[in-house]
Structure 1
């Protein structure tokens, strides 16, 4: 018996090695970019809305302005400043073929900060993505780069740190580079989910199976899971942490074995930003969008391109139509090799498979297909869907006061899209040329909404969206509003330290905001896309001034506000 167990274990290790080659990255080359001991609030591959987390979130003791240092020798190759996303970020290229990125920063070091400001004024844009040459800002390991902050898409003070392959800009898991972070804790498995793979994943709710732990070994209750489908797949909710931390971070790797044979697995090793939205194929999107748990599939959906999965024996949809009891093991690992295992059995109970009854037209991954009615058409591209699914269509009255079409409901917000799909709507009356020029298509689902400027062709308005939901045409002749609280025309700002304003729009979409001081462009920051802020500097000396602010909305309506003040 012991010989048999040994042989089975050896076979398991052998197949597993074929799934994932050992990670081989330079250990000790990069230093901790902070002066604080490494402590993670987020790790690589962690699950986030519509994307994988692509680096490490390093805690900064809940405060801003900690010193951020270069992780290794190299040169600053790029600077990015944007309202969301990274906020303020520095990229450094290193001679070993990797690039490090430092994001959500406050001020850069003085020399770099001054250079960036000059570039912003030269481009007349606060939002910039600057390319630098190797000789402009070379750095040595440990050089001061910037102060940590909370800019961009950050929700609390921290440093977002990434390592990428310089040649193709693909992100690599920093935990594979040997940073000084103690981790002797195994991942935790919280629940198992079972899916009927005779139907679309987006047309069912999974059966959730509770699990119980004995150390790092887990089992289900009951131990034998009987199912009424001859073909099933599995998903898990699992988290990881590191020594001394209470943060529930993402897992690194999960492997599925059936009857002691490796079937499929995934690893959070390297992911490109161009593929990060494929997280929606990796998770049970329908369950999560309804407010449920994060569930990570142990099956590879057909529409997942450049997948993080490795297949050894199929795509993870398991045929159990023989009615036999099949032993299942799921192994979950972190980047340090700590592992947790979940063992259970599964059996098909022989229930006759009922015919699928669903309304709507069936669409498939990698097929360009469409749907047409008298007043609405939509077309779904080859790389839009992750799994086959019925897309339902409905029409209802438009109650918007400026609505010029019926409301057309397409699909469900519980069905994710990788790429945008095309929606074409015919207005319910003839429009003047001016009305056409100010027409937008509005999408909404629940409390969310968005608008896109339409293109006209043969009396039909078209736009692209990345979510299913309800769509309608709206004419918009109301310009955005520029709000300057506390700043009236003729104000004396001699004691003020800054000027602030906001821009609002009736349909929630403004753009092309521009500010001029005495006819020259003036830099206002717009962190998180909320308030525009200018802090007085050498660009606004003592004396009378005239500030002009202009903005547009998606429909092309423009507005301008001029304020005279004395400093």
Structure 2
């Protein structure tokens, strides 16, 4: 029995290998960017909300301010500082055609830190994205770049590290470069999902089966023979990978579907562009995940998925079982080190296996790769050809709104569990005449459950328009409430000579601050704003001893402005 199992596993693995060719990236060119062993909290291609994880998250022993070193010779080509995302980041361009990225950093090396500060004062902006010439900051392999941190969209101290092709700025899986990360553990399979592909993937819930390891890295679902009531089906898996000595559940590298011993389709997490990272929503069962379920990865390529990570061998992954025969299915899952797990099962079509769910028919059907729209007296929306991943019926409803700040009906367009790749245009008419002053402060609000987002509208006659990348509920709101600026630990007339910094916060009723400007004695003063929570200025040569006037100006998305002035003594 053990020999038979091993033969089945080897056969499936060898057949799956026909789909993808070996990767040929330079080995040993890059060094570990830290001085401690590389242990991963996250890997390339790991599934995240609305995006793939595009590099390594390297653990820093739950500490900040570990030295970060250049992975190879090159020059610093870019510097990025932002409240979310990468926080503080350095891009090093290498002569072999690749660029490495180091993110969530604290202070840069002193020379670079001073240069960046000067650039921020020249641009009068703490948030910057700087392009550097090769002569400014050349680096050698192992040169000190910065200290690790927890800035930007980071939830705990670590170093986010990427490798990109310099030409085209496409991210490549760092595992393919031979970094010293020990991995002799095969991926773990958790569940199998089966979809009726006579219908949209967004108009059904898949049948999900638990799977179990039966010997080594071979898995079976329960039951091992799956009967289906649809003549066309596709499959998805729940799976994760980890590395030697790590408890973290990271993303898998590759998976291939075999049907009757023939490779059909597969995906590989080897290179992904940031332009395409949102397409994770076509790779996963977005509806299941958005409704609180697990990540399920499709073993089929949805028709609207452009620039796909999938490779086809014999179809798109939707298989025909209408003959009623018992078909052999195997799903082979690999990590980047070549460790392999295989899920084997059988599938058979039986018409009366279970009742079919009724398709949605009371709404207009929209298709991927086609531009279409819907128009009514108070609301219009237009979905572009690159918005949808699968065909789906999109319902429209209108409801009255009694909130005095809201100046339109509530317009419900589709459901939030239908993902959009590109933004759609939404146009709404107010339910009463608006003055010019009200129009100038009108925003469109999207909401679904507890999630909300706003956009400033553009007016065309009596129609207000804005673009959104989600379906759900939409309404027009007149926002006349300015942001609130709150000093922390100081007030007008305060003596701050014993303090090391000045801190204030800005809050808005719709949580959307468009711009904050700070001036000291009429000149721009650099306040940091990491994670968008507080604005912080650490005293330096820009504020010497004496009397000073600090002015803070905050503007929200609707255009409401608050200005506050504080006289302080340093």
| Superposition TM-score, scaled by structure 1 size | 0.97
Q: Equivalent residue for 1:117?
A: 117
The Cα shift of 1:167 comes to 0.6
**SS of the residue 2:113 aligns to:** helix
Shift of 1:16: 3.8
For structure 1, list consecutive stretches of 5 or more residues without a partner in the other structure. Answer: none
Deviation at 1:56, TM superposition (A): 0.2
Quote the residue 2:183 is aligned against.
183
**1:236-315 paired onto structure 2 within 5 Å:** 236-315=237-316
Residue 18 of structure 1: CA displacement?
Answer: 4.5
Give the aligned partner of residue 506 of structure 1.
509
1:483 is displaced (CA, Å) by 1.1
Q: Displacement, 1:418? A: 0.5
Shift of the 428–244 alpha-carbon distance from structure 1 to 2, 3 Å rule, reads same
**CA distance in structure 2 between the partners assigned to 1:11 and 1:105 by the alignment:** 46
Structure 2 residue 526 is matched with structure 1 residue 526 = no
Match of 2:138 in 1: 138
CA distance in 1, matches of 2:507, 2:10: 64
Query: In the alignment, is residue 338 of structure 1 matched against residue 322 of structure 2?
Result: no
Task: Give 5+ residue unaligned stretches, structure 2.
Answer: none
Q: How do 1:41-440 and structure 2 match up within 5 A? A: 41-214=41-214, 215-351=216-352, 356-440=359-443
Query: How far apart are the structure 2 equivalents of 1:27 and 1:198?
Result: 46
CA contact (8 A) 2:30 2:72 kept: yes
Match of 1:477 among 480, 501, 514: 480
CA contact (8 A) 1:12 1:261 kept: no
Q: Distance in 2 between matches of 1:251 and 1:144?
A: 32
Instruction: Determine the C-alpha separation between the residues in 2 that align with 1:242 and 1:462.
Output: 49
Aligned position for 1:560: 563
Residue aligned with 2:23, SS? coil
1-structure distance, mates of 2:62, 2:80: 24
- Offset from partner CA, 1:10-38 (integer Å, 9 cap, x none): 98677644421110000000000000101
Q: Contact 1:456–1:462 at 8 Å: present in 2 too?
A: yes
Give the secondary structure class of the aligned counterpart of 1:222. coil
Deviation at 1:553, TM superposition (A): 1.0
Tell me if structure 2 keeps the 8 A contact 1:8–1:260: no
* Deviation at residue 403 of structure 1 after TM alignment: 1.1
Contact (CA 8 Å) 2:75, 2:93: kept in 1 or not?
yes
Please state whether the residue corresponding to 1:300 is helix, strand or coil.
Answer: coil
Name the CA distance, whole Å, in 2 between partners of 1:186 and 1:14: 16
Alignment of 1:428-467 (within 5 A): 428-467=431-470
Q: Distance in 1 between matches of 2:366 and 2:36?
A: 52
SS in 2 for 1:111: helix
Residues 540 and 216 (structure 1), Cα distance of their counterparts in 2 relative to 1, 3 Å cut: same
The structural deviation recorded for 1:356 is 3.0
RMSD over equivalenced CA pairs, Å: 1.7
Q: Following the alignment from structure 1 to structure 2, what is the Cα–Cα distance between the partners of residues 6 and 513?
A: 64
Instruction: Describe the shift of the 1:431–1:21 C-alpha distance in structure 2 as closer, same or farther (beyond 3 A).
Output: same
Q: How far apart, CA to CA, are the structure 2 residues paired with 1:223 and 1:10?
A: 19
Q: Report the CA distance between 1:460 and its aligned residue.
A: 0.5
Runs of 4+ residues deviating >4 angstroms: 4-15, 352-355
CA distance in 2, matches of 1:353, 1:506: 46
For 1:416-444, what per-residue CA distance to the aligned partner results, in whole angstroms no more than 9, with x for missing partners?
A: 11111010001111111111111111111
**Following TM superposition, by how much is the alpha carbon of 1:357 offset from its aligned partner in structure 2, in angstroms?**
4.1
- State the distance in 1 between where 2:566 and 2:106 align: 29
**In structure 2, how many angstroms separate the alpha carbons of the residues matched to 1:138 and 1:353?**
64
Q: 2:59 & 2:27 partners in 1: Cα distance?
A: 22
- For residues 373 and 550 of structure 1, the distance between their equivalents in structure 2, rounded to whole angstroms, comes to 41
After superposition, what is the alpha-carbon deviation per residue over 1:179-223, rounded to whole angstroms, capped at 9, x for unaligned? 111111000000001111111111111111011102211001111
The structure-2 alpha-carbon separation of the partners of 1:520 and 1:21, relative to structure 1 and needing over 3 Å to count, comes to same
Q: CA deviation at 1:50?
A: 0.3
Q: Note the C-alpha offset of 1:93.
A: 0.5
Following TM superposition, by how much is the alpha carbon of 1:458 offset from its aligned partner in structure 2, in angstroms?
Answer: 2.1
- Could you tell me the TM-score, scaled by structure 2's length? 0.97
CA separation in 2, counterparts of 1:183 and 1:5? Answer: 23
How many positions carry a matched residue from both structures? 564
Residue in 2 that maps onto 1:517: 520
CA contact (8 A) 1:551 1:559 kept: yes
